[in-house]
Amino acid sequence: MADVQRKEPGVVIKDGWSGYSLELFNYPEHYQGDLECVYIPHGVIMNRIECLARDILEDIGHHDMMVLCVLKGGYKFCSDLVESIKAQSRSANRRLTTRVEFIRFKSYLNDQSTEDLHIIGPDDLSMLKGKNVLIVEAIVDTGKTMRALLQHVETFQPKMVKVAGLLVKRVPHGAAELPDYVGFVIPNRFVVGYALDYNEYFRDLNHICVISETGKQKYKV
Ligand code: HPA
Ligand code: MG
């Protein structure tokens, strides 16, 4: 089986990118004034996900896949990615089963990362044994979550583990290793939408956006 070390950087968004004006896109009315710009439009996210799904199928092959979705931020990415993998496998007339398990880390309050990581989810991931595992994360910044999760998953002796990250953030002391599949590499800015939250708000926004100062104040805890 092909086990290519792909690790493409993905679509790289430069530091100077100020996003699209909000007037150019449709977004929920209840967030008027709370956003600064549309950073990555929903359609662009969806198209990029189709490409990731294609790459994943090329590498893992049309084999059964155990998907480990990192909640809550990863739920939309995971759902759209799995749908695209299924659709592309189907149109290639291949058989593929996918099973999704969920895992959660508690680590963010406001827009600051707190120090400790707790894995919340099934203690027993023995169903991963001997399987092709795809970890699906919305954001990789320091890579701490990814490393902790990889270590945890390896103890269950999977056949293969790959990581898909929709966004990789260029932070100081950023992840030493990229996920195997990267959607976008973005500057160190706090983004919301497409299931990414600010104190649980903005998950219901389809685009990935930058929050405004007003928005930050409004939804502060
Ligand atoms: N937005 C939402 N959640 C996050 C982010 C972000 O930019 N970075 C890490 N968790
Ligand atoms: Mg959060």
Q: What is d(CA 175, CA 216) in angstroms, rounded to the nearest whole number?
A: 26
Residue 6 has pLDDT above 70, yes or no: no
SS3 64: coil
> 165-200 as b/e, with b when 16 or more CB fall inside 10 Å?
bbbbbbeeeebeebbbbbbbbbbebebbbbbbbbee
- Report pLDDT for 5: 55
Q: What local confidence, expressed as pLDDT, does residue 2 receive? A: 44
Length of the chain: 221
Answer for the pair 209, 85: CB distance below 8 angstroms, yes or no: no
| Beta carbons of 166 and 139 less than 8 angstroms apart | yes
C-beta separation of 178 from 4 below 8 A:
no
Q: Per the structure block, which two tokens stand in for 51? A: 């490409």
Query: How much is the pLDDT for 119?
Result: 81
Residues 18, 36: Cα–Cα separation, whole Å: 9
Q: Which ligand is nearest to the CA of 72?
A: 2
Confirm or reject: Cβ of 191 under 6 Å from ligand 1.
Answer: yes
Active-site residue 141, yes or no?
yes
CA distance 208 to 45: 8
Cα dihedral across residues 155, 104, 179, 93: positive or negative: positive
Q: Which ligand is nearest to the CA of 196?
A: 1
Q: Are 92 and 61 in contact (CB under 8 A)?
A: no
User: What's the pLDDT tens digit per position in 180-214?
Assistant: 999 999 999 999 999 999 999 999 999 999 999 99
Give yes or no for residue 80 CB within 6 A of ligand 1. Answer: no
- Give the model's confidence band at 43: pLDDT under 50 very low, under 70 low, under 90 confident, else very high: very high
Q: Which of 220, 205, 179 is nearest to 28 (CA)?
A: 205
The beta strand positions in the chain, using DSSP E, are 11-12, 35-40, 65-71, 98-109, 112-120, 132-140, 160-169, 181-186, 191-192, 208-211
The residues with which 88 forms a beta bridge, in sequence order, are none
Expressed in angstroms and rounded, the spacing between residue 164 Cα and the centre of ligand 1 is 16
Asked if residue 175 has its Cβ within 6 Å of ligand 1, the reply is: no
Among 49, 17, 11, which Cα is nearest to 36's? Answer: 17
Choosing from 55, 59, 80, 141, the catalytic residue is 141
How confident is the model at residue 112, as a pLDDT?
A: 58
pLDDT at 124: 82
Mutational pocket test of ligand 1: of 39, 141, 197, the residue with most ligand atoms within 8 Å of the beta carbon? 141
pLDDT digits (tens, 9 = 90+) for 131-177: 999 999 999 998 888 888 999 999 999 999 999 999 999 998 888 88
**Over the stretch 114-134, which tens digit does the pLDDT of each residue have?**
556 678 888 788 999 999 999
What lies within 8 Å, CB to CB, of 6 at 6+ separation is: 55, 59, 180, 181
Give yes or no for residue 168 CB within 6 A of ligand 1: no
pLDDT attached to residue 108: 53
Handedness of CA 89, 95, 180, 187 (dihedral sign): positive
| Predicted pLDDT at 61 | 83
Would you state the pLDDT for residue 22? Answer: 97
How confident is the model over 52-109, as pLDDT tens digits?
999 999 998 878 999 999 999 999 999 999 999 999 999 998 889 999 999 998 765 5
